[in-house]
Chains A and B, each alone.
Chain A
Amino acid sequence: MKKNAYFGLYIVMAILVVLPFVLPNSFYVDLVIRMAINAVIVLGLNLLIGFAGQISLGHAGFLGIGAYASAVLPTHFGWHPVLAMAAGAVVTGLLAGLVARPIFKLKGHYLAMATLGLGIILNIALRNEATWTGGPDGMPVPAMGLFGFELTSDKHWYWVVALLLSVSVWASLNLIDSPFGRALRALHGSEVASQVVGVDVVRYKVAIFVLSAVFASLMGSVTAHYVGFVTPNLADFFHSIELVTMVVIGGMASVYGSLVGAVLLTALPQALATFEGWETVAFGSILMLCMIFMPKGLVPTLAAKFGKGD
C-alpha cells in the first residue's frame, strides 16, 4: 500500500509542474491555485473527519481567523505579514485547543452542533467589528513579501501553493502511517476499544482538531494575501459546509479523495455559472446524487470498483 500511496504523490507533483505550461490563460491558473488552496485545507479536515471520525461544521471560522489576522495586523498595526500569519495560526491553535476538550466530550450531532456554533460566532464577530474588519464589505490585504521578494503575480503564488500542496500530501501520507495515524483510525473504529488498549482518546482528538484548525488558519492567510481582499463570506457557515462536502464527496479517510473533492467542488460553481439562476438547484442536486449513489465518496467507490486499494 505504501509504495502505491507515494506513487500518487509523484503523479500529483508531476501534474503541478506541467500544468502552468499547458494552462491556456490566467483564468485557469487562478482556478488551479484556488483548487490547491482548498485541497490543503481539505487534507487537514479529512484527517479530522475521515480518519478520526469527528465532524467539524465550523472550520471556515478558523480559515477566517487566519485570513483576518493577515489583513488586520499588517494594516492596522504594521506587523510583518509572516508574523501576522504566524499570529493567526497561534491564536487559532489556542482557540481550537481551548474549546476542543469540552467539545470532544460530545459525539455525533452534538459535536456537529458545537463546531457549527463556534464557526457562526466567529463569522458574526467578523461581520460586526467593522472598525477593524471592514464589516460585511471586507477589507484589502497588503501584499506579502518573503526575503525581499514580493509575491505579486499569479505565477509566484502558483509555485508557492504547489509547494504547499505537495508538502501537505507528503505529510498526510506520513502521518496516517505513523503511530499517531494508527491511533486516530483506532478511535474512529471504536473509542472504547482504543481506550482499553491504552490510546489516550481525548488527547488525540484534541491534537488532530488543533492541527486541522491551524492548517485551515494558515491557508486562510494564504488566501487573503493571494486574493488581496477578505470578506466575512470566507468564514461563513456555507463555506464550512463546502469544505466538509469536499472531504465526503472525494472520499473520507482518503488522501487522494481530498484532492479530487477539492478539485471538483472548486470547479463546479464555475461550470454551473452557465445555468443562470439554476446554480443552487444544480449544486444541491449534485450533492444529493453523489451521496445517494456513492455514500463512501468518489475515490474509495471507484477504487473498490476497479479492485485497487487507495
Chain B
Amino acid sequence: MLAQFLQFLFSGVTVGATYALAALGFTLIYNASNVINFAQGEFIMLGGMLAVYFTQAGLPLPVALVLAILIPAVVGIVVEKLAIEPVKGAETVTLIIITIGASLVIRGLIQVWLGKNTFSLPAFSGDEPIHILGATLLPQSLWVLGVTALVVIALWYFFNRTLQGKAMLATSYNRVAAELVGINTSWVLFMSFAMSAALGALGGILVTPITLTSYDVGIMLGLKGFVAAVVGGLGNGLGAVVGGLLVGILEAMGAGYISSSYKDAIPFVLILLILFFMPRGLFGGKSTDRV
C-alpha cells in the first residue's frame, strides 16, 4: 500500500518538476509581455533532442548539456525578435497563432534534421535504483528534483537580489512606469524569452533519460506546463512550481489508481475543475476591470 503510493509519488514529483520548469517559462514570458508562448513545449523538446545529438556526436556530457541549453535560449531570442516584437499589442488570438507557428517551425526543422525516431539519453549517474520503504527511486529523479530546486532558488535570488531581476519584476508590474524610471523593457523581453527557453530546455534534458524524447513530445509537455502555470495562477512564480508538482503528482496517482489510458486527460480535467471553482487559479489574485 505505502510502497505503491510512494512509487506513484516519486514518479509524479519527477515529471511534475519538468512541468514546473515549463510553467516557470510560461510565467516569465507572460509577466514580461502578456504573451502565452505556445512554443514553450518545443524548447523542452529541443533540450532533450540536442542533448542526445551532441552526446551521440561524441561531445563530453557537460559540454553537450551546456550547448543543449544555450541553443534553445538563442532560438527563444530569435523567436522574440522576429515574431513577437513586431506585433506589440496585437490581440491574444493573433499572438497565440504566432507562437504556434513558431512551434511548428521548430518542430518541423528538428524532424527534417534528426528524423522521427525516439531517442534516449544515458542517466547522469547510473541506473542503480535506490530503495525507500519498498519503493524505488531512480538516481535521475534526484537529478531532476535537485536541479529544479537549485533553479527555483537561483530565480528567487535573481528577482529579489539583483538589479536586472528587479528590472524584470518592475516591467511585469507596470511596463510604462518601468520605462519611465529608465528600465530598458525591450531588453527585459529579450531576457525573459532567453531564460524561459533555457528553463524549458533544462527540464527537457533532465527528464529525457527517464521518459525518452522525439521531435513531437513538445506539444503535450508544453500543454501540461501551461496547465501547471494556470493551476498556479498565471504569472505567479511560486504558483508555477506548486502547479507543476501538483499536476505531475495527480497525473501519476490517476494513472496508478484510476486508469493509465486516461493519464493524459487528468491534467485537463484538473484544470477545468480549478477554473470552474477558482477562476484565477490557486494563487491568482483578484482583479477588477477598468472601464
Contact = CB atoms under 8 A, between A and B. Distances in A.
Interface of A: 49, 55, 57, 99, 102-103, 105-106, 108-110, 112-114, 116-118, 120-121, 124-125, 128, 190-193, 237-238, 241, 244-245, 247-249, 252, 277-288, 291-292, 295
A287 B38 CA distance: 14
Contacts of B100: 241, 245, 284, 287
Contact of B291 (A190, A244, A249, A280): A190
Contacts of B271: 113-114, 117
B275 A248 contact: no
Nearest to A279: B108
A53 to B, nearest CB: 9
A93 to B, nearest CB: 19
Given A106-B275, A113-B227, A118-B272, A280 B107 contact: yes
Contact of A248 (B93, B104, B262, B272): B93
B86 A292 contact: yes
A121 B268 contact: yes
Interface string B168-205: 00000000000000000000000000000000000000
A124 B98 CA distance: 26
Given A105-B279, A109-B36, A278-B108, A287 B291 contact: no
A206 B98 CA distance: 28
B31 interface: no
B265 interface: yes
Given A245-B100, A291-B97, 12 more contacts: A102-B275, A110-B230, A114-B271, A117-B269, A118-B268, A120-B264, A237-B219, A281-B109, A291-B90, A291-B101, A295-B87, A295-B94
Contacts of A248: 93-94, 97
Given A128-B262, A237-B219, A285 B226 contact: no
A207 to B, nearest CB: 20
A121 B275 contact: no
- Say what secondary structure dominates the interface of chain A: helix
B265 A120 contact: yes
A50 B104 CA distance: 24
A287 B97 CA distance: 7
Nearest to A99: B272
Nearest to B268: A117
Given A110-B280, A279-B108, A116 B223 contact: yes
A112 B108 contact: no
Contact of A109 (B92, B105, B268): B92
Interface of B: 30, 36, 83, 86-87, 90-94, 96-98, 100-109, 111-112, 219, 223, 226-227, 230, 234, 261-262, 264-265, 268-269, 271-272, 275-276, 279-281, 289, 291
Contacts, number: 137
Contacts of B83: 288, 292
B291 A278 contact: no
B40 to A, nearest CB: 13
Contacts of B93: 49, 55, 244, 247-248, 252
B4 to A, nearest CB: 23
A161 B105 CA distance: 34
A45 to B, nearest CB: 11
A117 B94 CA distance: 20
A240 to B, nearest CB: 11
B272 A117 contact: yes
Contacts of A284: 100-108
A13 to B, nearest CB: 30
Contacts of B291: 190, 192-193
Nearest to A289: B101
A124 B108 contact: no
Contacts of A291: 87, 90, 94, 97-98, 101
A110 B234 contact: yes
A9 B96 CA distance: 31
Nearest to B30: A109
A288 B223 contact: no
B138 to A, nearest CB: 27
Contacts of B102: 284, 288
B275 A110 contact: yes
A121 B271 CA distance: 11
Given A125-B265, A281-B108, A112 B223 contact: no
A288 B279 contact: no
Contacts of A193: 291
A57 B99 CA distance: 14
A287 B99 CA distance: 9
Given A113-B227, A252-B93, A285 B265 contact: no
10 contacts: A110-B275, A112-B96, A116-B268, A117-B272, A117-B275, A120-B265, A128-B262, A252-B91, A283-B104, A291-B98
Given A106-B275, A280-B108, A288 B98 contact: yes
Contact of A110 (B87, B279, B289): B279
A249 B105 CA distance: 18
A55 B91 CA distance: 11
The 8 closest A-B pairs by CB, nearest first: A284-B104, A280-B108, A287-B101, A281-B108, A288-B101, A117-B268, A284-B105, A102-B276
A285 B100 CA distance: 10
Contacts of A247: 93
Nearest to B92: A108
B264 A124 contact: yes
Given A192-B289, A193-B291, A280-B111, A117 B227 contact: yes
B122 to A, nearest CB: 29
